[in-house]
Amino acid sequence: MIAFVAPSLSYSLLAPILIVLGGAVLTVIFEAFLSKAIRPIAQLSVTLGTLVLALGQVWRIRHESSLTAAMGSVAIDGPAILLQASVLILAVLGVFLIADHDHFTVVAATLPGSEEELASIRSGEKLTEVYPLTLFAVAGMMLFPIATDLITLFVALEMLSLPLYLMAGLSRRRRLMSQEAALKYFLLGAFSSAFFLFGAAFLYGYSGSVSLAGIYEAVSGGTGNSVFLLIGIIFLSVGLLFKVGAVPFHAWTPDVYQGAPTPVTAFMAAATKVAAFGAILRIFYTSFANAYWDWRPILTVIAIITMVFGSLVAISQRDIKRMLAYSSIAHAGFLLSGVIALNKAGLDASIFYLFAYGMATLGAFAVVTLVRDSAGEVTDINRWAGLGKRSPFVATVFATFLLAFAGIPLTSGFIGKFSIFSAAYESGNELIVVVGVLSSAIAAYFYVRVIVLMFFTDLAEDGTSVIIPSILTRATIVVTFAITVFLGVFPAPFLNFISSTATFIR
Amino acid sequence: MKWLTSLMLLPVLGAVLVSTLPKAKELLAKQIAFVTTLVVAVAGIAMATQFQRDNVDLQFVESHSWIPTFGINYALGIDGIALVLILLSVLLAPIVVLAGWNEAVGGRWSVKTFYVLMLILETMMIGVFAANDVFLFYVFFEAMLVPVYFLIGGYGTGARAAAAVKFLLYSLFGGLLMLASIIALYVISGEQGGHTFDISALAQLHLSSTTENLLFLGFFIAFAIKAPLWPFHTWLPDAADAATPGTSVLLLGVLDKVGTFGMIRYCLELFPHASKTFTPVIIVLAVISIIYGAFLAIGQKDFKRLIAFTSISHFGFITLGIFAMTSQGHSGATLYMFNHGFSTAALFLIAGWMSSRRGSSKIADFGGLQRVTPIMAWAFFFAGMSSLALPGLSSFVSEFLVLVGTYTRYPVAAIIAAFGIVLAALYILLPIQRALHGPTTDGNESLTDLNLREKIAIAPVLAVILVLGFYPSPLLNVINPAAAHSIAKAGFTDPLSSIDSKGVTK
């Protein structure tokens, strides 16, 4: 008979996640008991309040570091704080976009085109289930990069994924496409989760432990069966790389980005990347650091094909959301070079890049939500022609985000690219730097093409127009734009903060 | 007094002022832009009077920490070569604004946007020559592309969007190669005593010869695209054809000089051994550019393209002078950069006036202008003579110096290059004969001669060409010490003789 020991939890360190989970439960209760009329505003306020409160708590514990906050299942350290804060900030701005109910179907269970659907739309009600889903996903995203054992890691992975699968299918228009996206995301996601578990099992077989520290010790000791280690690393990586959309595990990305309601795409593209790369960084920098001879060549090849493939295929895209999806694939490749770097500079650069890229991505998708015709959003790139004439401000802002993606100086993207490539070079991976700059050159082509369409092509009179954004959407656009430019011109305080804070503890 | 920063801030202030104007105030926008550029020009001349010409150290030095995490400084400082190029930029700017008084009217966007872009471009032109930190240089080098891109694509004629994109992608490609080299320099400097971007500190690095050669190529290809050197030149004729005359003047007169300036400042100084290794290849490319550009110029049917190809030939001369590695060559090349700026400005502005009056820039559409518009015809003749380096005009001095400087080390190259002068007579005199002389052809009878504004704009250009033809020493006095110093820093000694202050070999 094993004596039961009450787990000792450090509540203040776990508070950010607990607050978000508490908020999530509260929104579920609201969903059940509040009247339909006040639900939208109540849910929105609770969601935003929860996120801001959690952010405040993250700020309060920013100097803490602990491995025992939850019986050794999570680590609170510099990177954990930075990544959690990034997820929360991106989530707040993402919720600003999600608050526009026009993007979401009213009753997700109705058949597309059915009488019930028409009736639900006529009722003028608003879908509010998206708020609890968002909060649960955020909690998962906050747990994912701080988890230090494979079981917690898996729980976090599912916790962030399941709500996202649902959210991808909530689009009001082109519902079949949205539901197809959700199903695809779910099936492939489930498949990759299986790979993740399979890898975790092998790592347990290799080290006799599911904790990252235990695996690290086994790797350092070099006693286990290294075939098990290799298989474990490979399958675990498949599960992780799927979430960031690295080639060849990217197939879901364009379909889901395109099919999901644009605010969900924005939130998912920005915040999931932070969470998933946070977890990848922690696992590879702590557990597998001493086995880098085993995994570095594999990740290098994946990074290279991801960069090149994403950049090349983006060229032929005709849909703005699909183009941004392939661009996000290319960026996943750039980010992988920060993982491969395996040095302090690589960690700092990756965290900076994740935040800067997340901001620009949120902003870009926020602009996509504004360009509409009578049937909803216009995502056909050719119909964006002459946007610079119609709404110079919106077009200029979007062009700035594209220039940031392309890594033009005086935008955050350039500082990110410089820091991540220099870290990779410092670790002796010159090849990845050369491929990286060359694929940036390819990528520049399709970013520039959109700018040409917006500014240098004559206006197409086909009913495309830029709607006047709501205050919240406007806030997202203004904030992301300001941060994108600010981090390009004065990145010093932010870089200093990262480099003084970001150190993994083992 | 912080001369360089003040010089860079003035156009920004002008740009801010112009951008606050209402769209309808076109005249006021032009006037503010003109006054701003004029003030900058006066300030530039005032700065030049403070320049100590015998001091070979960098002058007007400023340095502030910008991104300490990466050792990046906002560091400025100029030698004689940079001073001459900054003078070129600030002197041409007001002339371009005055000469192209109405060229913004037919653009895609408002007149004020044109001048905002123009003024921002002026700031960046000064910055790129003044930067004393490789990272800062790169920021200006790349950021400069954005205003030029919009100036060509938004206000040009014909296939302006395609030309703008071609220009941007060529330059970006070169820039990204340079970025890879810069990252390598940064990392190597970190390995050898601390991250820095300071040019003189980077020049002290120990590089293996393979590394040095590769890094050299990264920089050189970027500069060869910019300059442009055969076979990287194909973007230039399209861009010059599509851009407004004023933009073309800045593009060929100043921006392309960044390439040749970069060769002196960065290629030679940072990679002296690699420069030596690649000299034979570059000399060959330069000679090919001279002859190839000249032959293609002869075959052109359009004035703008003709001038573009003559420039390719002239850039061949400049590159030849630089890589001859003699102080005469360097002095000649720097003087050539200045003179080419003015003679190209004259040619482009007058060709622009001719074609805006005639509605065509095809040489065949003109004939007998001498009888209808004598002043314009004479001015063009004068500018043409300067372009073919007639003795007594400024280009002669620099072309002579380049050939002398080259002959002392590479006699064969100098002899072949000298044929470029013969070809120059053909490509200038043939179109002059067709367009200016002979009977006045149909459609040219009612052309009007230069008005007062145009005369005021072109007079100083022609005066500079004439004065420097007879009396180049004010410039040479500034250039010579810097040129000799740059040769010495690259580890070369003059094979035969030095040069005195009159620009004559002893």
B273-305 pLDDT per residue, tens: 888 889 999 999 999 999 999 999 888 888 888
Q: In 3-state terms, what secondary structure has residue A396? A: helix
Give per-residue pLDDT as tens, A116-163: 888 888 887 888 899 999 999 999 999 999 999 999 999 999 999 999
Q: In 3-state terms, what secondary structure has residue A133? A: helix
For residues B165 and A452, the answer to whether their CB atoms sit within 8 Å is: yes
Q: How far apart are CA B105 and CA B114, in angstroms?
A: 9
Q: Which band of pLDDT confidence, cut at 50, 70 and 90, is reported for residue B497?
A: low
Amino acid at B90: V
Q: Is residue A248 part of a domain?
A: yes
In chain A, the number of structural domains is: 1
Q: Which residues of B touch A392 (CB under 8 A)?
A: 109
The answer to whether the Cβ–Cβ distance between A437 and B177 falls below 8 Å is yes
A441 touches chain B (CB under 8 A): yes
CA dihedral for A22, A24, A26, A29, sign (positive or negative): negative
Greater pLDDT, A119 or B318: B318
Q: How far apart are CA B366 and CA B351, in angstroms?
A: 11
Q: How far apart are CA A10 and CA A16, in angstroms?
A: 12
Give per-residue pLDDT as tens, B355-399: 888 888 888 787 777 788 888 888 888 888 888 888 888 888 888
Bridge partners, residue A171, by sequence: A104
With DSSP H G I counted as helix, E B as strand and the rest as coil, what are the percentages for chain A, rounded to 5? 75, 5, 20
Q: What is residue A274's predicted lDDT score, i.e. its pLDDT?
A: 95
Give per-residue pLDDT as tens, A334-371: 999 999 999 999 999 999 999 999 999 999 999 999 98
A5: exposed, middle or buried (Cβ count in 10 Å: 0-12, 13-18, 19+): exposed
In the DSSP assignment, the letter for residue B69 is G
Cα separation values, B38 from B44, B51, B93, B173, Å = 10, 20, 8, 34
Q: How far apart are CA A288 and CA A280, in angstroms?
A: 10
* Residue A233, both tokens: 């690393």
For residues A89 and A56, the answer to whether their CB atoms sit within 8 Å is: no
Q: Which residues of A touch B184 (CB under 8 A)?
A: 425, 430, 433
Nearest Cα of chain A lies from the Cα of B149 at a distance, in angstroms, of 10
Q: Is residue A5 part of a domain?
A: no
B221 touches chain A (CB under 8 A): no
Going by C-alpha positions, the residue among B10, B18, B4 that lies closest to residue B39 is B10
Q: In 3-state terms, what secondary structure has residue A211? A: strand
* Residue A277, both tokens: 């790369």
R_g of chain A, CA atoms, integer Å: 22
Q: What is residue B1's predicted lDDT score, i.e. its pLDDT?
A: 63
The answer to whether the Cβ–Cβ distance between A457 and B66 falls below 8 Å is no
Q: Which band of pLDDT confidence, cut at 50, 70 and 90, is reported for residue B506?
A: very low
For residues B114 and B107, the answer to whether their CB atoms sit within 8 Å is: yes
Range of the domain at A312: 11-501
B146 touches chain A (CB under 8 A): yes
A290 touches chain B (CB under 8 A): no
Amino acid at A415: I
Q: Which residues of B touch A352 (CB under 8 A)?
A: none
Give per-residue pLDDT as tens, B141-195: 998 988 998 888 888 787 888 888 888 888 888 889 999 999 998 988 888 888 8
Q: What is residue B496's predicted lDDT score, i.e. its pLDDT?
A: 57
Going by C-alpha positions, the residue among A492, A487, A189 that lies closest to residue A358 is A487
Strand A465-466 to strand B72-78: parallel, antiparallel, or no bridges (unpaired)? unpaired
B68 touches chain A (CB under 8 A): yes
Nearest Cα of chain A lies from the Cα of B488 at a distance, in angstroms, of 32
Residue B158: closest C-alpha in chain A: A456
Cα separation values, B153 from A37, A88, A458, B159, Å = 51, 40, 12, 9
Residue in A406, A437, A452 nearest the CB of B165: A452
- pLDDT tens, chain A, 506 aa long: 567 777 788 888 899 999 999 999 999 999 989 888 899 999 999 999 999 999 999 999 988 888 888 888 899 999 999 999 999 999 999 999 999 888 888 888 888 888 888 888 888 788 889 999 999 999 999 999 999 999 999 999 999 999 999 999 998 888 889 999 999 999 999 999 999 999 999 999 998 889 999 999 998 887 778 889 999 999 999 999 999 989 889 989 999 999 999 999 999 999 999 999 999 999 999 988 888 888 899 999 999 999 999 999 998 899 999 999 999 999 999 999 999 999 999 999 999 999 999 999 999 999 999 988 888 888 888 888 888 888 888 999 999 999 999 988 899 999 999 999 999 998 888 899 999 999 998 998 889 889 888 888 877 777 778 888 889 999 999 999 999 999 999 999 999 999 988 888 87
Bridge partners, residue B133, by sequence: B198
Other CB atoms within 10 A of residue A418 CB: 23
| Alpha helices per DSSP H over A222-291 | 226-244, 252-259, 262-267, 273-282
Going by C-alpha positions, the residue among A141, A164, A127 that lies closest to residue A90 is A141
Buried b (16+ CB within 10 A) or exposed e, A358-386: bbbbbbbbbbbbbbbeeeebbbebebbbb
* Residue B308, both tokens: 């573009």
For residues A156 and A140, the answer to whether their CB atoms sit within 8 Å is: yes
Q: In 3-state terms, what secondary structure has residue A59? A: helix
Q: Is residue A4 part of a domain?
A: no
Amino acid at B60: F
- Give how far the C-alpha of residue B468 lies from the chain's centroid of Cα atoms, to the nearest Å: 17
Bridge partners, residue A104, by sequence: A171
Residue B181: closest C-alpha in chain A: A434
Q: Is the bond preceding B231 in cis, omega lying within 30 degrees of 0?
A: yes
B200: exposed, middle or buried (Cβ count in 10 Å: 0-12, 13-18, 19+): middle
* Strand (E) or helix (H) holding A216: helix A212-221
Q: What is residue A24's predicted lDDT score, i.e. its pLDDT?
A: 95
CA angle in degrees (0–180, nearest 5) for A461-A462-A467:
95
Whether pLDDT at B493 is above 80: no
B65 touches chain A (CB under 8 A): yes
Q: What is residue A257's predicted lDDT score, i.e. its pLDDT?
A: 94
For residues B260 and B319, the answer to whether their CB atoms sit within 8 Å is: yes
Q: How far apart are CA B447 and CA B175, in angstroms?
A: 44
Residue A456: closest C-alpha in chain B: B161
Q: Is residue A226 part of a domain?
A: yes
Q: Where are the beta strands (DSSP E) in B143-206?
A: none
Q: Which residues of B touch A414 (CB under 8 A)?
A: 139, 142
**Predicted interface score ipTM higher than 0.90:** no
Q: How far apart are CA A498 and CA A500, in angstroms?
A: 5
The answer to whether the Cβ–Cβ distance between B68 and A496 falls below 8 Å is yes
Other CB atoms within 10 A of residue A318 CB: 11
Q: Which residues of A touch B67 (CB under 8 A)?
A: 415, 491-492, 495
Q: Is residue A1 part of a domain?
A: no
Q: How far apart are CA A411 and CA A403, in angstroms?
A: 7
Whether pLDDT at B108 is above 80: no
Bridge partners, residue A77, by sequence: none
* Residue A45, both tokens: 């306020």
Q: How far apart are CA B338 and CA B398, in angstroms?
A: 9
